[in-house]
Amino acid sequence: MNRQKKLGGAARNAWLTLGLVVMFLTVGVPRWLAGDVTPPPSHAGAGFAKLCIDRGGTPTSEPGSGQSFCTIRYGRSVYRMDAITPDGFDEDTAHFQRQGCVEANRGRSASGHRRRSFVYHPDTGVCEHRVS
């Protein structure tokens, strides 16, 4: 009987060891246990800059905050391209910019201000304010 207990314990230990090996191979060893606590480098900044330049903008960062954004010049004004994000071109933001442009033009024509107009640029997602 004593021998059967030893074999049962050994089998249980073998299954437990096998289960732990499978878990570590599947899930992986935590990075802090491996001594690598720094996150891998991100290429989001390079993708953001390329997208900004491809859409005709200039990548800019706010001093002190480190936050990047994209600007573009139309006429004498510089606009922030809100639709250009580190995750790509945000269609929803561009849609709301266009909607704001349309509403601003309606308000302009209702108030009689003919010298001001608003032009939406779909490539940049910017509603340009023009004074003619």
Three-class SS state of 69: strand
Q: Name, in order, each residue with C-beta under 8 angstroms of 55's C-beta and a sequence gap of 6 or more.
A: 70, 72, 81, 84, 89, 123, 124
Cβ neighbours around 52 below 10 Å, total: 21
What would you measure as the largest C-alpha separation in the chain, in angstroms? 102
| Each residue's pLDDT tens digit, 67-78 | 888 999 998 899
Q: Tell me how far apart the alpha carbons of residues 55 and 78 are, in angstroms, rounded to a whole number.
A: 15
pTM: 0.58
| Each residue's pLDDT tens digit, 82-120 | 999 888 899 999 999 999 999 998 887 666 666 778 999
Q: Tell me how far apart the alpha carbons of residues 80 and 43 are, in angstroms, rounded to a whole number.
A: 22
Distances in Å between the Cα of 105 and the Cα atoms of 2, 76, 82, 84, 131 are: 92, 20, 20, 24, 12
